[in-house]
């Protein structure tokens, strides 16, 4: 049975998240519905990242097994036709090795978080950034972020309902840069805990506001205590931008 690798982009605003839920429309569910309408096959789709409600993606990766062989371009176009008018697009489709698994074959996941620090609220990007109505110290945030890079117990930055077996993770990258009005925070790791990126970003905001310093962020990490975490950043500013496969 052919296996297809999909590259997917979506605006997460109207969805309950990637994963199918008993109530509400999920990205996974919408894609599976589109596959059925196109192929008349009940095919499950596995994604590389289980993004939460309101989280966006420009480079989500998924795989699906379909009994009939499809030209990748026809499969891509057909899925996009049946996904309308939902804000989901299959950017690319390719037949792949049957052993490929979008989730377990991934060697790195890359996320972007966008903060808009200005007095006036956003209009066009209202559901696509975290609006903070004050100036933030980007340099202080950048310097503090380095305290979280490396292999650590990230219990402090882990949601209470996280189902991961271990809080240990290796954070390969946590960069803070200014791009025009937007503060961009980029995080990379092989895998993340539930709400880890949003929890780290919310704590970095405390640094940017001058409420915390680098030492406070390091102490929060060392506490291994969820109550030591700063504000959890809203889902609207978070994007899954790409997933790596191959040698780590």
pLDDT tens for each residue of 183-216: 999 999 999 999 999 999 999 999 999 999 999 9
Q: Which two tokens stand for residue 131?
A: 């609006």
- Would you please indicate which residues are annotated as catalytic (active-site) residues? 52
Q: Is the dihedral of CA 157, 171, 27, 102 positive or negative?
A: negative
pLDDT in tens, 80-136: 999 999 999 999 999 999 999 999 999 999 999 999 999 999 999 999 999 999 999
Q: What is the pLDDT of residue 247?
A: 60
Cα angle vertex 18, ends 39, 82, to 5°? 30
Residue 161 pLDDT grade (very low, low, confident, very high; cuts 50, 70, 90):
confident
Please tell me the distance from the alpha carbon of residue 36 to that of residue 56, in angstroms, as a whole number: 24
Summarize the chain as % helix, strand, coil (round to 5): 30, 30, 40
Alpha-carbon torsion (52, 56, 61, 63), positive or negative: positive
Kindly report the pTM of this predicted structure: 0.95
Structure confidence at residue 35 (pLDDT): 97
Q: What is the 3-state secondary structure (H, E, C) of 86-121?
A: CCEEEEEEEEECCCCCCCCCEEEEEEEEEEEECCCC
Cβ 195 vs Cβ 232: under 8 Å: yes
Question: Could you tell me the end-to-end alpha-carbon distance of the chain, in angstroms, rounded to an integer?
Answer: 28
Q: Which domains does the chain have, with CATH numbers?
A: 3-96 (3.30.70.580), 107-245 (3.30.70.660)
Closest CA to 235 of 87, 9, 111, 55: 55
Q: What is the pLDDT of residue 162?
A: 87
21 pLDDT above the threshold of 90: no
Whether 59 shows a pLDDT value over 70: the answer reads: yes
In whole angstroms, give the CA distance from residue 188 to residue 206.
21
Radius of gyration (Cα) for the chain, nearest Å? 19
């Amino acid at each position: 049975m052919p296996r297809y690798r999909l590259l997917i982009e979506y605006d997460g605003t109207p969805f309950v998240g990637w994963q199918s839920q008993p109530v509400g429309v999920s990205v996974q569910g919408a894609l599976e519905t589109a596959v059925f309408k196109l192929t008349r096959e009940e095919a499950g789709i596995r994604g590389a990242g289980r993004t939460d409600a309101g989280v966006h993606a420009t480079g989500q990766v998924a795989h699906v097994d379909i009994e009939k062989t499809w030209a990748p371009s026809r499969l891509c176009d057909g899925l996009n036709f049946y996904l309308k008018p939902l804000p989901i697009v299959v950017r690319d489709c390719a037949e792949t090795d049957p052993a490929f698994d979008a989730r377990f074959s991934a060697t790195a996941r890359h996320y972007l978080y966008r903060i808009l620090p200005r007095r006036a609220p956003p209009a066009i990007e209202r559901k696509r950034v975290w609006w903070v109505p004050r100036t933030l110290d980007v340099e202080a945030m950048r310097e503090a972020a380095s305290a979280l890079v490396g292999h650590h117990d990230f219990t402090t930055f882990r949601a209470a309902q996280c189902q991961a077996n271990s809080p240990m993770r290796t954070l390969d990258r946590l960069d803070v840069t200014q791009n025009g009005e937007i503060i961009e925070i980029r995080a990379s790791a092989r895998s993340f805990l539930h709400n880890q990126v949003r929890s780290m970003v919310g704590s970095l905001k405390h640094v940017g506001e001058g409420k915390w310093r680098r030492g406070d962020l390091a102490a929060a990490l060392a506490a291994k205590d969820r109550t030591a975490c700063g504000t959890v950043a809203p889902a609207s500013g978070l994007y899954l931008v790409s997933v790596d496969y191959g040698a780590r």
